[in-house]
Amino acid sequence: MNISLLIAYIIVFILSAVPLLEAFIVVPIGIVGGMDFFMTNIIGIAGNLLTLLILIIMMDRIKKWYLDRREKAGKSKSRKRERTENIFRKYGLPGLAFIGPFFVGSHFTALMAVILGGSRKATFWWVTLSVTVSTVIISILFYYGVDVIGLGDRQFLKDVLDQ
Number of domains within the chain: 1
The pTM of this model reads 0.83
Contacts of 6 (CB under 8 A, 6+ apart): none
Domain range enclosing 22: 3-161
Longest pairwise C-alpha distance within the chain: 55
pLDDT tens per residue across span 70-97: 778 877 777 877 888 888 999 999 999 9
pLDDT on residue 159: 66
Q: Does 62 or 106 have the greater pLDDT score?
A: 106
Mean pLDDT value across residues 29-51: 93
- For residue 148, is pLDDT > 90? no
